[in-house]
């Protein structure tokens, strides 16, 4: 399975090549991969439903406890099935939706990569692997939202989605590290069994906050909900796939997965219930403001994600089974509706529901599917959405904390959602026929296959929800409600949830009837809306930009002397602190100095002082050279030939480089004030003093066993070399050297780029006169 | 400034370049046992090329070098990284050294040597990149 997922990334990379060979048939061809995965997953269904969990071991970095082990239990089976089935449908669909689009190959690359990341996310058992896949979904989502990269709003929406989800991802990483520390394992399966220990742990609250931040941003919970509707700038198949059926549910998946490990505490219950209920109400309320069909659907997705969080917060077995059914129902109907929205957009050329009407005559099949999916969204019998909504009402009525507040938020959300369902499914297809920018007709079958399958599943599972009993019980066993023995049914008799459903049907119909007037009335709230969480995001971004501008001006102003002062001050602070406060000063001055050593040291001091006071530049360079060669001499005196040779060569090359730049430098001038020079003198003296003390202290006592003894002893037997310096460089500490040559290369690139830029300026100025072609 | 026509310099540079390159290879190969090694050898070679550059100008240097110094940096880094592959292939920790003896000349080849050659090329490339970039700006000043 791991190989299939990793191979999927390879397939993604090959998409442009395949597209060259197979042309417009490529998407159908590539859909075979998720379809095959779905078939394999279906074959595992009986075993999983019987209560088994499949564990596919795969070591990755065993020394760090990181594995690529996949875990297939009820929860991941359901998610993986949704991802692969809807993935196959979306691939087939997008082949028609983007037919002839010149960026189709790019689209296929990214969406296939996303599909594989998402599969990895829900299947991974290891926190690190999960996190890697989690971030991959954020990045691919960014590329997909910004698919129309010539459109500024799409780019902005993509960046917003990325920053919000990746910001949350950063918190999630911190949360995972704490989680692994508290639970003493990186494996989800092991962590889930240590729930009691985790909830008692002192890190519980901070780690819960971090994990929740990650999950809430990913799943667009209040107050981070704003990025999801903006993400509708993506092509419709992307919205159907990422922003309703799969990616936005990653946060929900994580919460469900960690429910047995972290859930059940008061913090968990209160936070999730409240945030979920607020998200529900916000999503449903904001939905009816909009007339764009995709925005309507996006806000109702926000509402649905809130519902799922709320149900996880309540956490009773009843609420958890409602969670499973609602999640499945939502993925089915919302995927179908987004695909239909894409069809409408594709066929009519507009996204505005108020501009469409009477389409059922030209698109009867699309209209039928739309009504079926819409009924499920509205939560009407006999569809799966109805089963989900009844269970949701029942669980809210069962909630232990803040029952009436939650109901007061959930009930309006339900009837507003019903109105949204009516708006998106009735408005375009019924009523008087309206002229649209394009003349619509039924789309090709590849575009209808998705809505057809998803809507039929909604209907079939609604009529016979008993078919989900096994899966639901298997999932419940995994997320903290074993032996729940749930039996799903369409009809529960007349009870309070049904009464609530009927009431929401009536109110929803009322809202739909007066939608146009209501929308106008709500316009007046617009100034208030402009001050919502999105304004906070904008302010944060502006603050970030000005902060980085300030710190760049302050720290990186381009003057060498400032960089030096900064670097030395940091060095002084950190090293000085560690030296004086951790180790204390202990120096024995018992050095015996030979005469020639004193001479060399005197030369160095003289060179340094001369370089500082000399006004002629060439003399200063020569003085620095004296210092450098004296250092080389020191190396020779203390028998370190490698260091001496290196020092000599570096000095030589420095002279070469100086020769090249020296005559280009401006005339010598005194630019610094006496005060600045005094500051520099203080910093330099302090640094020199600190390093001297450090050296003396190191030489005074053997605090630690010397590593060089080990190196000397093992250089020949282990590394077959007599030259210890070289053995250290290329064998013992080869990783350091590798890092160093990369830094060197980067420095060369920096020098080259900097000089080329200046050369470019000269060239632009000289072009008229010389006209020589730039080389290199 | 790089238009030196001094006879002594050009003759010296012409004679010294091959010697310096030979010496640098010598330093490189004996580095594991005696003073030397990739870094030092790279500096020696770069010094030789710099002398040649001063004597004959950058076009001549390009002809002698045949490749861009930046490509040398790239190849060096690539060699450095690829010296880790044998260990990876045999499932040992990162950077575990591998040794082979080449039969006829009784020469011990190893991944540290490959790595050292990578360091050598990277150092030569970096120094020459910086120097040629500086010389190129000079040309624009004059032009």
The per-residue pLDDT for range B40-50, each reduced to its tens digit, is 999 999 999 98
User: Cβ A645–B73 below 8 Å, yes or no?
Assistant: no
When mean pLDDT is compared across A45-49, A723-727, A748-752, the lowest value belongs to: A723-727
pLDDT tens-digit readout, A110-140: 999 999 999 999 999 999 999 999 999 999 9
When pLDDT is cut at 50, 70 and 90, the band that residue B124 belongs to is very high
Contacts of B32 in chain A (CB under 8 A): 720-723, 726-727, 730
Q: How far is CA A407 from CA A92, A222, A278, A401, in A?
A: 41, 17, 11, 11
Residue B118 has what pLDDT? 93
How many pairs of residues across A and B have Cβ atoms under 8 Å apart?
152
Query: What share of chain A in percent tops pLDDT 90?
Result: 28
Q: How far is B27 from chain A (nearest CA, A)?
A: 11
B1 domain-assigned: no
Tokens 């350091």 -> residue = A736
The packing angle between helices A595-613 and A617-637, to 10°, is 160
Do A305 and A249 form a contact (C-beta atoms < 8 A)?
yes
Tokens 């550059």 -> residue = B53
Residue in chain A closest to B136 (alpha carbons) equals A759
Q: Which residues contact B28 (CB under 8 A, 6 or more apart)?
A: B36, B37, B38, B41, B116, B117, B120
Residue B1 has what pLDDT? 44
Residue A591 has what pLDDT? 67
Any idea where the domains of chain A sit in the sequence? 264-523, 527-556, 559-722, 723-776
Do B135 and B2 form a contact (C-beta atoms < 8 A)?
yes
Q: Can the peptide bond before residue A382 be classed as cis, meaning omega within 30 degrees of 0?
A: yes
Q: Is the pLDDT of residue A770 over 50?
A: no
Q: How far apart are CA A608 and CA A628, in angstroms?
A: 10
List all residues of chain B from 103 to 132 with a beta carbon under 8 Å from chain A: 108, 110, 112-113, 115-116, 118-119, 122-123, 125-127, 129-131
Q: How far is A666 from chain B (nearest CA, A)?
A: 14
Q: Which of A348-357, A377-386, A448-457, B132-141 has the highest mean pLDDT?
A: A448-457
According to DSSP, residue A24 is labeled G
Q: How far is B98 from chain A (nearest CA, A)?
A: 9
Q: How far apart are CA A409 and CA A393, in angstroms?
A: 11
pLDDT tens-digit readout, A70-97: 999 889 999 999 999 999 999 999 988 8
Of A583, A599, A602, A571, whose CA–CA distance to A691 is shortest? A571
**pTM score of the predicted model:** 0.76
User: Cβ B43–A649 below 8 Å, yes or no?
Assistant: yes
Which residue range is the domain that position B54 belongs to?
7-142
Q: How far apart are CA A115 and CA A80, in angstroms?
A: 10
The three-point CA angle B40-A708-A584 to 5° equals 115
**Tokens standing for residue A431:** 């009523």
Mean pLDDT of A742-770: 71
Q: Can the peptide bond before residue A223 be classed as cis, meaning omega within 30 degrees of 0?
A: yes
| Neighbour tally for A728: CB within 10 Å | 19
Contacts of B75 in chain A (CB under 8 A): none
- Interface ipTM above 0.85: yes
Contacts of A769 in chain B (CB under 8 A): 143
Q: How far apart are CA A81 and CA A476, in angstroms?
A: 17
Residue-wise DSSP of A263-281: TTSHHHHHHHHHHHHHHHH
Q: In chain B, how many domains are there?
A: 1
Q: Is the pLDDT of residue A412 over 70?
A: yes
Strands B99-102, A70-72: pairing kind: unpaired
For chain A, what is the mean pLDDT? 86
Q: Mutating which of A744, A766, A767, A773 best tests the B interface, going by the most B Cβ atoms within 10 A?
A: A744
B113 domain-assigned: yes
Between A708 and A425, name the one with better pLDDT.
A425
Q: How far apart are CA A545 and CA A414, in angstroms?
A: 41
Do A240 and A86 form a contact (C-beta atoms < 8 A)?
yes
User: Cβ B80–A649 below 8 Å, yes or no?
Assistant: no
pLDDT tens-digit readout, A179-195: 999 888 889 888 888 88
Buried b / exposed e along A583-612 (16+ C-beta atoms within 10 A): eeeeeeeeeeeeeeeeebeebbeebbebbe
Between A761 and A288, name the one with better pLDDT.
A288
List all residues of chain B from 26 to 65 with a beta carbon under 8 Å from chain A: 31-40, 43-44, 46-47, 50, 54
Q: Which residues contact A709 (CB under 8 A, 6 or more apart)?
A: none
Q: How far is CA A445 from CA A100, A107, A365, in A?
A: 17, 21, 11
């Amino acid at each position: 399975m791991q190989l299939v997922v990793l191979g999927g990334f390879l397939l993604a990379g090959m998409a442009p090549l395949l597209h060259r060979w197979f042309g417009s048939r490529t998407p159908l061809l590539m859909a075979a991969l998720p379809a095959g995965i779905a078939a394999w997953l279906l074959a595992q269904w009986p075993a999983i439903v019987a209560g088994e969990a499949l564990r596919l071991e795969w070591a990755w970095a065993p020394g760090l406890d990181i594995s690529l082990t996949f875990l297939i239990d009820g929860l991941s089976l359901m998610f993986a099935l949704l991802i692969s089935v809807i993935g196959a449908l979306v691939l087939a669909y997008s082949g028609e939706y983007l037919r002839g689009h010149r960026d189709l190959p790019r689209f296929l690359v990214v969406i296939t990569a996303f599909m594989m990341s998402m599969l990895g996310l829900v299947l991974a058992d290891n926190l690190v692997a999960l996190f890697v896949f989690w971030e991959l979904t954020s990045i691919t989502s960014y590329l997909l939202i910004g698919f129309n990269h010539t459109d500024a709003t799409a780019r902005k929406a993509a960046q917003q989605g990325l920053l919000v989800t990746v910001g949350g991802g950063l918190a999630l990483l911190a949360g995972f590290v704490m989680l692994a520390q508290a639970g003493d394992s990186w494996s989800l399966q092991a962590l889930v069994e240590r729930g009691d220990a985790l909830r008692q742990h002192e890190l519980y609250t901070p780690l819960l906050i971090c994990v929740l931040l990650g999950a809430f941003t990913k799943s667009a919970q209040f107050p981070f909900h704003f990025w999801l509707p903006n993400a509708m700038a993506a092509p419709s198949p992307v919205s159907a796939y990422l922003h309703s059926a799969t990616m936005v549910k990653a946060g929900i998946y994580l919460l469900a997965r960690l429910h047995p490990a972290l859930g059940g505490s008061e913090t968990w219950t209160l936070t999730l219930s409240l945030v979920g209920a607020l998200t529900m109400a916000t999503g449903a309320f904001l939905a009816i403001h909009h007339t764009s069909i995709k925005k309507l659907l996006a806000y109702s997705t926000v509402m649905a994600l809130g519902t799922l969080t709320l149900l996880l917060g309540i956490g009773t077995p009843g609420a958890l089974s409602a969670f499973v059914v609602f999640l499945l129902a939502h993925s089915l109907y919302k995927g179908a509706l987004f695909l239909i929205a894409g069809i409408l957009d594709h066929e009519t050329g507009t996204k505005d529901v108020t501009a469409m009407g009477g389409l059922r005559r030209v698109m009867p099949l699309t209209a039928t599917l739309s009504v079926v999916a819409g009924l499920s969204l509205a939560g009407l019998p006999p569809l799966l959405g109805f089963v989900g909504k009844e269970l949701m009402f029942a669980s809210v009525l069962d909630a232990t904390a803040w029952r009436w507040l939650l109901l007061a938020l959930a009930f309006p959300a339900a009837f507003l959602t019903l109105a949204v369902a009516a708006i998106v499914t009735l408005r375009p297809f019924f009523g008087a026929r309206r002229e649209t920018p394009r003349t619509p007709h039924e789309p090709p079958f590849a575009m209808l296959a998705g809505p057809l399958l998803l809507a039929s599943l909604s209907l079939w599972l609604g009529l016979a929800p008993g078919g989900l009993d096994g899966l639901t019980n298997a999932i419940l066993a995994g997320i903290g409600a074993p032996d729940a023995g749930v039996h799903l049914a369409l009809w529960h008799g007349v009870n309070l949830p049904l009464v609530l459903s009927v009431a929401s049907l009536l109110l929803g119909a009322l809202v739909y009837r007066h939608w146009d007037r209501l929308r106008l009335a709500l316009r007046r709230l617009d100034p208030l809306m402009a001050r919502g969480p999105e304004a906070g995001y904008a302010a944060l971004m502006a603050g970030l930009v000005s902060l980085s501008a300030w710190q760049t001006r302050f720290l990186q102003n381009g003057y060498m002397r400032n960089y030096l002062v900064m670097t030395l001050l940091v060095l002084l602070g950190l090293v000085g602190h560690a030296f004086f406060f951790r180790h204390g000063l202990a120096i024995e001055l018992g050095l015996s100095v030979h005469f020639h050593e004193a001479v060399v040291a005197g030369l160095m001091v003289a060179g340094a002082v001369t370089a500082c006071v000399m006004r002629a530049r060439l003399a200063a360079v020569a003085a620095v050279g004296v210092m450098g060669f004296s250092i080389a001499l020191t190396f020779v005196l203390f028998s370190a030939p490698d260091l001496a040779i290196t020092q000599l060569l570096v000095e030589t090359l420095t002279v070469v480089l100086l020769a090249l730049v020296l005559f280009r430098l401006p005339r010598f001038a005194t630019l610094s004030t006496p005060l600045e020079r005094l500051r520099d003198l203080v910093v330099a003296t302090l640094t020199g003093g600190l390093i001297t003390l450090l050296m003396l202290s190191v030489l005074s006592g053997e605090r630690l066993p010397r590593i060089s003894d080990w190196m000397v002893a093992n250089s020949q037997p282990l590394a077959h070399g007599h030259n210890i310096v070289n053995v250290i460089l290329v064998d013992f500490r080869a990783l350091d050297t590798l890092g160093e040559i990369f830094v060197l290369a980067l420095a060369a690139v920096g020098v080259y780029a900097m000089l080329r830029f200046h050369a470019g300026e000269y060239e632009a100025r000289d072009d008229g006169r010389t006209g020589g072609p730039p080389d290199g | 400034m790089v238009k030196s026509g001094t006879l002594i310099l050009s003759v010296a540079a012409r004679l010294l370049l091959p010697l310096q390159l030979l010496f640098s290879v010598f330093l490189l190969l004996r580095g594991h046992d005696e003073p030397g090694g990739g870094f030092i050898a790279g500096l020696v070679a770069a010094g030789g090329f710099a002398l040649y550059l001063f004597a004959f100008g950058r076009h001549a240097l390009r002809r002698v070098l045949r490749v861009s110094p930046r490509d040398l940096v790239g190849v060096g880094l690539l060699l450095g990284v690829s010296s880790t592959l044998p260990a990876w292939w045999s499932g040992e920790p990162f950077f575990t050294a591998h040794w082979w003896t080449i039969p006829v000349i009784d020469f011990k080849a190893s991944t540290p040597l490959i790595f050292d050659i990578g360091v050598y090329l990277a150092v030569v490339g970096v120094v020459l990149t910086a120097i040629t970039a500086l010389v190129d700006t000079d040309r624009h000043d004059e032009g």
